[in-house]
Amino acid sequence: MSHLASDLHKETFVLNMGPQHPATHGVLRVKLVLDGEYIVEADPVLGYIHRMHEKMGENRTWAQFMPNTGRLDYLSALSYNHGYVCAVERAAGIEVPERAEVIRVMTVELNRISSHLLWFGAYLLDLGGFTPLLYAFDDREQILDLLESVTGSRLTYCYFRFGGLYNDIDDNFVTGLKAFVQRLRSRLPMYHTLVTKNIILMKRLKDIGVVSADMCRRYGATGPVARGSGIEYDVRKNEPYSAYPEFDFDIPVYPEGDSMARYMVRMDEIEQSLRIIEQAIAKLPEGPIMAEKAPKIVKPAPGDYYQAVEAARGSFGVRLVSDGTNTPYRLKLRSPSFCNLSLFAEASQGMLVADAIAFMGSLDLVIPEIDR
């Protein structure tokens, strides 16, 4: 009987989380091997929404691929616009006017805040809290109104151009932006009172999903996931690009490595993005928004080029291989969410299913960006 009892204790079963589970925030399937409610093995299964973006990049001109970048991570699309134009401008030797660079930073940081607000609301919804979503979307709508006024879009932006911008900002945009910064600053204490200091949230997140700095390095995790594990790495500081060297801001880092640390990194990043936007408004120069000699047909010199930018989820990299024609020979996109998801299998072993939901949400995954 003792042998039988031992075998029963080791009995496991397979449970599919997804590909339609609301907590996976996209068409992600995680094949879980469970011992009761404890995870023995987790195997993320990708490919349900694969769209061949990299192959499409090889069948379009350099300019024609630009709208694709907004469809990768649709929550921080401007960062992806930014990474792609920076890579092509580096390859083609295009100089960007200072006004355009400052406006790029301003709009990218505004988009970063909107991405973090959506994550905040959806994450709390996963954990059973509905009210924070309403507050977060109320503030996020203000951002979408501002960005729509200058880009023409509310989600999948295609605002940047090789050498500058599609459209200049006006006084109404600047006035609205100043008002939004004041509004969000006044509401952040409410977010912390309602959510951050909530004992239920603290019990759900503290010491849950602990990811060491070594694990982050082994899997190539970046962004808030790495900074929540004590790694002070931010592309904007470590590999400066665009106008970021002109701005003063801090990199929020928490050494605990748990889900609460990743939550705090993103909440602090909202404040830092507001700092950058305020500085950008104050130092916005006059001048053109497009390079005078920006070529109408881009044909970078033959070579291999790489550019990384700090997107809302980490380091987004663009590798371009040019053969001197108006179409990329090879386009490789480095997805931050793919690396951040990769550590889930190892870090979730021995975890309760309910805690795995809290852990996965703290990684802030966007599945269409993984499934390119």
Torsion, Cα 223 228 234 238, to 10 degrees, reads -140
Region of poorest pLDDT, from 14-23, 29-38, 324-333: 14-23
Tell me the pLDDT band of 18, cut-offs 50, 70 and 90: confident
Nearest to 248 by CA among 214, 206, 278: 278
Tell me the pLDDT band of 126, cut-offs 50, 70 and 90: confident
Domains present along the chain, CATH in parentheses? 52-347 (1.10.645.10)
What whole-number distance in Å separates Cα of residue 44 and Cα of residue 31? 6
What whole-number distance in Å separates Cα of residue 75 and Cα of residue 137? 13
DSSP 352: B
Q: What is the pLDDT of residue 371?
A: 84
Mean pLDDT of 186-215: 93
Give yes or no for residue 1 having a pLDDT over 80.
Answer: no
What whole-number distance in Å separates Cα of residue 362 and Cα of residue 201? 12
Give yes or no for residue 3 having a pLDDT over 70.
Answer: no
Task: Return the number of other C-beta atoms located less than 10 Å from residue 217's C-beta.
Answer: 13
Mean pLDDT of 114-133: 92
Peptide bond into 19 cis (omega under 30): yes
Q: What is the pLDDT of residue 55?
A: 92
Provide CB contacts within 8 A for 192, sequence distance 6+: 267
Give yes or no for residue 211 having a pLDDT over 70.
Answer: yes
Give me the percent of the chain exceeding a pLDDT of 70: 97
**What mean pLDDT, rounded, does the chain reach?**
91
Rounded to the nearest 5 degrees, what angle is found at the Cα of 184, between the Cα atoms of 183 and 190? 105
Tell me the pLDDT band of 9, cut-offs 50, 70 and 90: low
What whole-number distance in Å separates Cα of residue 213 and Cα of residue 231? 6
pLDDT per residue as tens digits for the range 246-255: 999 999 999 9
Mean pLDDT of 34-58: 90
Q: Look up residue 142 and give its amino acid.
A: Q
DSSP 244: G
Give yes or no for residue 6 having a pLDDT over 90.
Answer: no
| 3 state DSSP class of 334 | strand
Mean pLDDT of 177-193: 95
Q: What is the pLDDT of residue 21?
A: 75
Provide CB contacts within 8 A for 328, sequence distance 6+: 57, 58, 62, 65, 320, 321, 322
What whole-number distance in Å separates Cα of residue 123 and Cα of residue 270? 16
pLDDT per residue as tens digits for the range 134-174: 999 999 999 999 999 999 999 899 999 999 999 999 999 99
What whole-number distance in Å separates Cα of residue 109 and Cα of residue 276? 7
pLDDT per residue as tens digits for the range 48-84: 888 899 899 999 999 999 999 998 888 999 999 999 9
Rounded to the nearest 5 degrees, what angle is found at the Cα of 84, between the Cα atoms of 143 and 74? 40
pLDDT per residue as tens digits for the range 217-234: 999 999 999 999 999 999
